[in-house]
Amino acid sequence: MPSPVLRFAPSPNGRLHLGHAYSALLNAAFAAEMRGRLLLRLEDIDPLRCRPDLAAAVTDDLSWLGLTFEAPVRRQSEHMAAYRAVLDGLRDRGLAYPCFCSRKAVAAAASGRDPDGAPLYPGTCRGLPDAGALIAAGHPHAWRLDGAAARMQAGGLAVTVLAADGATSVRPAEPARWGDAVIARKDVPTSYHLSVVWDDAVQGVTHVVRGRDLEAATDLHVLLQALLALPSPAYHHHALIRDPAGEKLSKSLGSVALAALRREGVTAETVWRRLGFRRAPDGAPIPVR
Ligand code: GLU
């Protein structure tokens, strides 16, 4: 068994809020319990929304919270060439195709919804005979995974599930619900799904601890891992911290940003307590069950 490696992987497109703090603390708690390593990764593939000042604020907020991560911090924006090579490999194997559709066109032609509630792509651009000419002429395009071809190559798939007590179990994966998912956006040669799978493997991540909002995406992630012959980590999807109205916390809610709490004089200790953690003698968080 490789020694456990965990990671906290926020996107620096806003200030960290209590939901991030919970996820980071839970990662640190699992890492301490398993005597594993704890890494930090900045998922900053979005060139418009991810700003350097927000990336700096992430590390600042985390150290205020009292969490330390192994250096160096991995920044996805520095690895575009690697993602492009992975994408090219899938394309060369006939598993990815360019999609020239606008958001509006996809919504109009959609044949249902994906697990995120977004319009399910009906495959309009799959097998487009003049795709090469359109690319050569400079038409903007994303890249989609050919879901059916990918699933056929990958065969039966399973997700290893990590329970709160550290026990693992296995469930079947159902990537078909994602249809032909976007694996590279129009503006960058990758997507969240492609980068997260590649980086977890490159960083040797063995245990992924993240919010339940990403649970369904895991089925697509294990499909990509199988296609790319990458190891599949164990996954724990934790409950989402909600605001008083029961809504999932969004980064737009300034009042729950760690920076705002800090300005109001709230201590990191209080945040730990409010989120259900106490401090072990060695400083690591322990969930209060
Ligand atoms: N970057 C993602 C987010 O901030 C999390 C990715 C992951 O943990 O897999 O929602």
Find out whether the beta carbon of 249 lies less than 6 Å from any atom of ligand 1: no
Q: What is the pLDDT of residue 256?
A: 85
Find out whether the beta carbon of 42 lies less than 6 Å from any atom of ligand 1: no
Nearest-10 crossing angle of helices 217-227, 192-202: 60
Find out whether the beta carbon of 196 lies less than 6 Å from any atom of ligand 1: yes
Using alpha carbons only, give the angle 60, 234, 42 rounded to the nearest 5 degrees.
25
Rounded to whole angstroms, the Cα distance separating 191 from 228 reads 15
Find out whether the beta carbon of 9 lies less than 6 Å from any atom of ligand 1: yes
Residue of 230 and 1 predicted with greater confidence: 230
Q: How far is the CA of 210 from the centre of ligand 1 (A)?
A: 7
Which pLDDT tens digit goes with each residue over 161-177?
A: 999 999 999 999 999 99
Say what percent of the chain tops pLDDT 90. Answer: 93
Find out whether the beta carbon of 15 lies less than 6 Å from any atom of ligand 1: no
Say what percent of the chain tops pLDDT 70. Answer: 95
CA 38 remoteness from chain centre: 16
Q: Helix, strand, coil: what percent of the chain each, to 5?
A: 40, 20, 40
Band of pLDDT at residue 252, cut at 50, 70 and 90: very low
Q: How far is the CA of 134 from the centre of ligand 1 (A)?
A: 33
Q: What is the pLDDT of residue 33?
A: 97
Rounded to whole angstroms, the Cα distance separating 158 from 36 reads 24
Find out whether the beta carbon of 95 lies less than 6 Å from any atom of ligand 1: no
Find out whether the beta carbon of 185 lies less than 6 Å from any atom of ligand 1: no
**Ligand 1 pocket check: which of 196, 222, 240 to mutate, most ligand atoms within 8 Å of Cβ?**
196
Rounded to whole angstroms, the Cα distance separating 151 from 141 reads 23
Q: What is the residue type of 166?
A: G
Band of pLDDT at residue 255, cut at 50, 70 and 90: low
Contact between 55 and 77 (Cβ < 8 Å): no
Rounded to whole angstroms, the Cα distance separating 167 from 169 reads 7
Using alpha carbons only, give the angle 6, 3, 7 rounded to the nearest 5 degrees.
10
Q: How far is the CA of 129 from the centre of ligand 1 (A)?
A: 36
Q: How far is the CA of 42 from the centre of ligand 1 (A)?
A: 9
Q: What is the pLDDT of residue 244?
A: 67
- Tell the residue nearest (CA) to atom 10 of ligand 1: 10
Whether 192 shows a pLDDT value over 80: the answer reads: yes
Determine how many CB atoms are found less than 10 A away from the CB of residue 92.
Answer: 9
- Tell me the range of 111-115, 217-221, 247-251, 253-257 where mean pLDDT is highest: 217-221
Band of pLDDT at residue 8, cut at 50, 70 and 90: very high
Q: Determine the average pLDDT of the residues in 265-284.
A: 95
Q: How far is the CA of 11 from the centre of ligand 1 (A)?
A: 7
